[in-house]
Chain A
Amino acid sequence: MTAIWIAVIGASVTAFLNKYIGHSVPEQWLDRPRFKRINTLVPIVLLSALVGVQTFAHKKELLIDHRLAGVGVALLALKFKAPFPVVVISAAVTSAAIYNWF
């Protein structure tokens, strides 16, 4: 089995367990203030790290290229409260324009 298959199946199993556990455990197990504070921050750090790596990294190298322009436009679109698809498409168009013309 390839690594991708292991990731697909493994992550699907743990995702379901996460969801099912919530529906099944007594409330006081997970209902702790410190635990909840940390858990609100987990998506912020992981998603931010993914933004950073996917914008600047190429394998193990860091570089500035067309992707940064695309992400910059996405941030601008978010600042002006643009809907999801507009954010993604404006980033793609900007990045593609720079990649193809320069």
Chain B
Amino acid sequence: MSINPRSNPVDRTALSVAFTVGLYGAAFGAAGVTAGFSILQTCLLSLLLFSGASQFAVVGIMGAGGAAISAIATATLLGFRNALYGLQMAPILKVNGIRRILSAQITIDESTAVATLQENDSDMRRGFYITGIGVYIFWNIFTYLGALGASAIGDPAVWGLDAAVPAAFCGLVWPRLKNKKQFIISASAIALALLLTPIAPAGVPIIATVLLAVIFGWKK
């Protein structure tokens, strides 16, 4: 397969998404080191976990002194949507064995989004793989650069990194807020988490908000 971003619109979309999202890996690399992770631990999250929101949650919760179990539980719940993406992609990709394992690893927001924009199965596959592999490569390179950069810095607040992390989360949640109900749910989650912060162990205020998702999602 050859990639032609000039002549093929699928390739063009896939590569531009891959590069833009990949750049963002630098913010994650910096966040990891700021939270007290080593460069190796930060890079392993990008290589192995490879799902932006879950990665930020792990370093966010551990950095705030949370227990490993809260970090794992929160990351797992955040990553569950990838299972739903896999459900959508499996009938189109039709792969087994090692290919299924590799395809599963790159089943994320971006690869599925680009794939589902296409009109036929062959373009969907092309969009999925170029975006998925592209994000994987750029995300990991920029994670390393971000981690390297941040580890050269002393106090993260001097460089605004302590605000860059919640800003990054804003960027992840913003596109999901499409109507008034979702804004209300988002605001209640912030309120509940802040209410619990002084009284509950670190990590619990975040995972507890899943209750709100169940309550608001129960009835249509």
- Interfacial residues, chain A to chain B (CB-CB below 8 A): 3-12, 14-16, 18-25, 27, 30-31, 33-34, 36-57, 59-62, 66-67, 69-71, 73-75, 78, 83-85, 87-97, 99-100
Contact = CB atoms under 8 A, between A and B. Distances in A.
Interface stretch (B3-11, B64-72, B117-125, B133-141): B64-72
A65 to B, nearest CB: 9
B97 to A, nearest CB: 11
Interface string B163-177: 111111111111011
A48 B218 contact: no
Nearest to B206: A49
Contacts of A52: 189-191, 193-194
Contacts of A96: 157-160, 163
Contacts of B171: 74, 78, 84, 87-88
B173 A41 contact: no
Contacts of A50: 56-57, 60, 166, 169, 193, 206
B116 interface: no
A60 B66 CA distance: 11
Contacts of B85: 19, 22
A66 B164 CA distance: 11
Interface residues of B, number: 100
B167 A23 contact: no
B170 A99 contact: no
Contacts of A100: 158
Residues of B contacting A: mostly: helix
A42 B190 contact: no
Contact of B170 (A33, A40, A43, A75): A75
Contacts of A36: 84
Nearest to A31: B87
Contact of A20 (B69, B77, B86): B86
A70 B213 contact: no
B41 A8 contact: yes
B160 A70 contact: yes
A79 B101 CA distance: 38
Interface string B191-202: 111100110001
Nearest to A55: B166
B24 A85 contact: yes
B135 to A, nearest CB: 13
Interface in B80-117: 80-91, 93, 100-101, 103-105, 107
B182 A46 contact: no
A18 B81 CA distance: 8
B186 A45 contact: yes
A39 B194 contact: no
Nearest to A19: B104
Contacts of B41: 4-5, 8
6 contacts: A16-B48, A18-B82, A22-B83, A46-B189, A60-B198, A90-B167
Given A16-B104, A74-B170, 20 more contacts: A4-B68, A11-B76, A19-B105, A22-B89, A23-B86, A23-B87, A42-B210, A44-B173, A44-B176, A45-B212, A46-B77, A46-B189, A46-B210, A49-B192, A49-B205, A66-B162, A69-B163, A71-B163, A88-B167, A100-B158
